Amino acid sequence: MQSTYFFKAFYLSLVALSVSFSGMLFAAYPDHPIKMVVPYPPGGSTDIVARAVGQKLSELMSTQVVIENKGGASGMIGAGQVAKSPPDGYTLLMTASGPHSINVSLFKDIAYDPVKDFAPIILTAVYPLLMVVNAEHPAKNVKEFVAWAHANKGKVNFCSIGPGTPSHLAGELFQSMAGIEMTHIPYKGSSQAITDMLAGQCSVLFDSALSSGPQVKGGKLRAIAIGSKERVDSWTEVPTVSESGLTGYEAYTWSALVAPAATPKNIIDLLNTESAKVLATPAFREMIKAQGAVVGGGSPEDLAKFTQSEIAKWGKVIRDGRITAQ
């Protein structure tokens, strides 16, 4: 009987010590710089968001947030590095739709699982893709483009910024939902695709407002629709593809903050709370609006559900279109 009481008391003391120790760890976090990995080179939309979030988090959390660009392999090198990092809240990943929702269906050998190997923190921004045509194209809206495509069967193509990119998948989804046939022409980046759009070599391009927007504003390209669920503040005059006749169509890229799986929930919740404060600042909201994007937000659970729905959505497009990364 005495031994039973002894072991019970010993167990309770261990539990109390564990709770006390974890509380001390949480109270001390963060006590040294946090590294935020961006799985792309500097200068892109994901990098811009990471630096804006990191700078403000440094102020709010009274510690330095260091941005490390780890590009390569469609974002998989940086993502894989973070997946294998200690789950202590000091290594984070500003991920994007490619490495976190598309690559898992696009590549046979991927060194991480976007769901199992990461702890979601918060969705930071969504970048709807503009559907653009040459300014001389006869179609002024989606319905006219679809009618034109039917009338020119076998002659219609769509540019993308590369095979397997959101730009490519957006075009595949569009032709599937519209019931038209288009030939895919992949390019190495937006600049080459836009060059041929301006020359009239491509029928249509699905691209971010950050890259195609200036040509639209300059009158050389025409935005006939946008891939957001609702119209966005920076492009109020451009209707969504969904409201233009293809109900339910959405095509966008996005960025989100995640940590290695098994990162303590109290740290995840703290990072979510502080990041939400950053997203609510006028400076951040104006920056996102200027990029033609929409500010993110929500809970870690919201991001987890969103990620799984994105994996399912684009996985189906990839399988149905027999798309490869080559």
- Reported as a single tens digit per residue, the pLDDT across 37-68 is 999 999 999 999 999 999 999 999 999 999 99
188, part of any domain: yes
Q: Are residues 111 and 80 in the same domain?
A: yes
Cα–Cα distances (Å) from 61 to 13, 69, 93, 290, 311, in that order, read 32, 22, 17, 27, 32
pLDDT (tens digit per residue) in 261-291 = 999 999 999 999 999 999 999 999 999 999 9
248, part of any domain: no
Cβ neighbors of 46 (< 8 A, separation 6 or more) are 38, 39, 40, 94, 95, 96, 255
pLDDT band at 108 (very low <50, low <70, confident <90, very high): confident
* Vertex 76 angle, CA 206 and 193, to 5°: 25
Letter for the amino acid at 293?
A
What mean pLDDT, rounded, does the chain reach? 92
Tally of domains within the chain: 2
Q: Are residues 17 and 109 in the same domain?
A: yes
CA dihedral defined by 39, 44, 49, 51, rounded to 10 degrees?
A: 80
Cis amide bond preceding 300, omega within 30: no
- The CATH number assigned to the domain holding 268 equals 3.40.190.150
Residues 118, 259 contacting (CB under 8 angstroms): yes
Q: Are residues 138 and 280 in the same domain?
A: no
Residues listed for the chain? 326
pLDDT the model gives residue 8: 44
The boundaries of the domain holding residue 198 are 128-235
Measured CA to CA, the distance from residue 116 to residue 261 in angstroms comes to 7
pLDDT the model gives residue 5: 41
Averaged pLDDT for residues 287-309: 96
Q: Are residues 210 and 284 in the same domain?
A: no
SS3 241: coil
CA dihedral defined by 65, 63, 83, 271, rounded to 10 degrees?
A: -100
pLDDT (tens digit per residue) in 181-206 = 999 999 998 999 999 999 999 999 99
pLDDT band at 18 (very low <50, low <70, confident <90, very high): very low
**270: how many CB neighbours lie within 10 A of its CB?**
17
Q: State pTM to two decimals.
A: 0.89
Whether the per-residue pLDDT at 321 is higher than 70: the answer is yes
Cα–Cα distances (Å) from 76 to 27, 89, 95, 301, 313, in that order, read 33, 20, 10, 23, 20
Higher pLDDT, 313 or 24: 313
227, part of any domain: yes
Residues 225, 240 contacting (CB under 8 angstroms): yes
Q: Are residues 159 and 66 in the same domain?
A: no
Measured CA to CA, the distance from residue 180 to residue 245 in angstroms comes to 14
Q: Tokens standing for 37?
A: 């990995």
> What is the DSSP code (8-state) at residue 250?
-
